[in-house]
Amino acid sequence: MYDLVVRSRRTVLPEGTRPAAVAVGGSSIAAIEDYGGSLDARRDVDLGDLALLPGLVDSHVHVNEPGRTEWEGFATATRAAAAGGVTTICDMPLNSLPPTTSVIALEEKRAAAAGKCWVDVAFWGGAVPGNSGSLLPLHQAGVVGFKCFLIDSGVPEFPPLDADGLRSVLGSLAGLDALLIVHAEDGSQVTPASGRDFCAFVASRPPVAERRAIEKVVAAAAATGARAHIVHLSAAECVAMIAGAKAAGIRLSAETCPHYLFFAAEQVPDGATEFKSCPPIRDAVNREALWRGLEAGVIDCVVSDHSPCPPELKASGTGDFGAAWGGIASLQLGLSAVWTVARRRGRTLDDMARWMAAAPAALAGLPAKGRIAVGCDADLTAFDPEVSFVVDPARLQHRHQVTPYAGRALTGRVRQTWLRGIQLLDANSGAPDGEPAGQLLNRGSRA
Ligand SMILES: [Zn+2]
């Protein structure tokens, strides 16, 4: 007798999409059978033509709690994740206070998160000047890897590494086989921006800033043999360099974000600071080239870089791109935003599951996540790939409703989410219902 069976004619399995029945025993996937197979279960859900995806894994989320919980917090971020079909998030080490640059800070963060998470949460550690002695203890405490900046991070308590610091950290992490994820912009190529002109803001952070920083990462990864990952790649001209580094055997990977794949700079109105991110959304030609890098497998995954703040810090009143916080809120909308464009390009749900579930789970070292496979956690998302809807900010579970997707027509809607076999969403409202059952994960953890 299984606890749950979920059937779908479009079940997205690692080997492809087919009609199947997913049987859940306890918190994990116990069997995958034929769609119409007779399976004895306490609960049997037939999704029919709705797709069944693995629960998404978003390896790039800024939760900001403790310390800046008024920007976003574990309760609100994980509610938004659940509503968006995301069953695991990896929390970034900065924008919370303290930043996660020591084991004590990690313990504070875990204490702040305990009991309020609607989905599972893993943690990145931070690599900053002066905390080299904390890398091994943080690794042993279960962080999924380390984040560093090569440019001002936007918050003073999380300073960037210089080229020597980058090489030194990668040298330390190589011995642990730990991953370093890098915010790759070169400050010497960036100029200050101000005013309401979006094009001027984009020009202040040109592609060459990303290129110069990624060159440093490639060189340091090559010299040390360490694993490095480029977060939120925006400048598509860097795709060729990343492809070349991979081909040369350098252990490099890269992600991009829904906003770089969905929006183009030409469409952003002046003063619309909800579109501000660093690096910036670039033009439509760049967007097309990013898609090709993703489709070619050079870019490994698509994750949100959800980084909200209160509306007043987004400079919504003045529309000044210099004053506004650089971060885009999209945790609940990433799947629909990417699918809206992907399906027009002839991509499939298999691609979506690889880019937004399997690849980020592998990146973060979470073997029980990101796949519908026997033995994995029963994290599942029911998704209607054909329905269209207009984004109503009032339906967002994020702490703040500011998002560039407001009023946009998107295709594909999350209908239900299960975390380790627990149904998360109220069928009518689409909002999380019941009690938060998310767990705090360590690297490599299995159910
Ligand atoms: Zn980020």
What would the pLDDT profile of 384-417 be if each residue is shown by its tens digit? 999 999 999 999 998 888 899 999 999 999 999 9
Output the CA 86–ligand 1 centroid distance in Å: 17
Ordered DSSP codes for 19-79: EEEEEEETTEEEEEE-TT----BS-EEE-TTSEEEEPEEEEEE---TTT-TTT--HHHHHH
Output the CA 94–ligand 1 centroid distance in Å: 9
Quote the pTM value: 0.97
22, 378 in Cβ contact below 8 A?
A: yes
Output the CA 230–ligand 1 centroid distance in Å: 11
Output the CA 390–ligand 1 centroid distance in Å: 26
Output the CA 304–ligand 1 centroid distance in Å: 8
For residue 187 the two structure tokens come to: 């400050």
Output the CA 278–ligand 1 centroid distance in Å: 9
Output the CA 423–ligand 1 centroid distance in Å: 29
* pLDDT given at position 205: 97
Output the CA 18–ligand 1 centroid distance in Å: 35
Output the CA 382–ligand 1 centroid distance in Å: 27
316 burial level (CB within 10 Å; 0-12, 13-18, 19+): middle
Would you write out the chain's pLDDT as a tens digit for each of its 447 residues? 999 999 999 999 999 999 999 999 999 999 999 999 999 999 999 999 999 999 999 999 999 999 888 888 999 999 999 999 999 999 999 989 999 999 999 999 999 999 999 999 999 999 999 999 999 999 999 999 999 999 999 899 999 999 999 999 999 999 999 999 999 999 999 999 889 999 999 999 999 999 999 999 999 999 999 999 999 999 999 999 999 999 999 999 999 999 999 999 999 999 999 999 999 999 999 999 999 999 999 999 999 999 888 887 876 778 999 888 888 999 999 999 999 999 999 999 999 999 999 999 999 999 999 999 999 999 999 999 999 999 999 999 988 888 999 999 999 999 999 999 999 999 888 899 989 999 999 999 864
Output the CA 182–ligand 1 centroid distance in Å: 10
Output the CA 95–ligand 1 centroid distance in Å: 10
239, 299 in Cβ contact below 8 A?
A: yes
Residue range 298-318, pLDDT digits in tens: 999 999 999 888 887 876 778
Output the CA 41–ligand 1 centroid distance in Å: 42
70, 369 in Cβ contact below 8 A?
A: no
Output the CA 326–ligand 1 centroid distance in Å: 9
Output the CA 126–ligand 1 centroid distance in Å: 12
Output the CA 50–ligand 1 centroid distance in Å: 32
DSSP 8-state assignment for residue 314: G
Distance CA 107, CA 113 (A): 10
Output the CA 374–ligand 1 centroid distance in Å: 32
**The pairing of beta strand 120-123 with beta strand 44-46:** unpaired
Distance CA 209, CA 362 (A): 28
96, 64 in Cβ contact below 8 A?
A: yes
* pLDDT given at position 307: 87
Nearest-10 Cα torsion for 386, 391, 394, 396: 70
* Half-sphere CA count of 436, side-chain side, radius 13 A: 20
Output the CA 208–ligand 1 centroid distance in Å: 20
* pLDDT given at position 70: 84
* pLDDT given at position 447: 47
Output the CA 43–ligand 1 centroid distance in Å: 39
For residue 268 the two structure tokens come to: 């952003």
Ion ligand 1 nearby residues (CB, 5 A): 305
Output the CA 260–ligand 1 centroid distance in Å: 13
For residue 135 the two structure tokens come to: 């890398």
Output the CA 171–ligand 1 centroid distance in Å: 23
* pLDDT given at position 353: 98
Output the CA 404–ligand 1 centroid distance in Å: 16
Output the CA 328–ligand 1 centroid distance in Å: 9
Output the CA 202–ligand 1 centroid distance in Å: 18
For residue 320 the two structure tokens come to: 């000044």
Output the CA 297–ligand 1 centroid distance in Å: 22
163-176 and 132-140 helices, crossing angle to 10°? 30
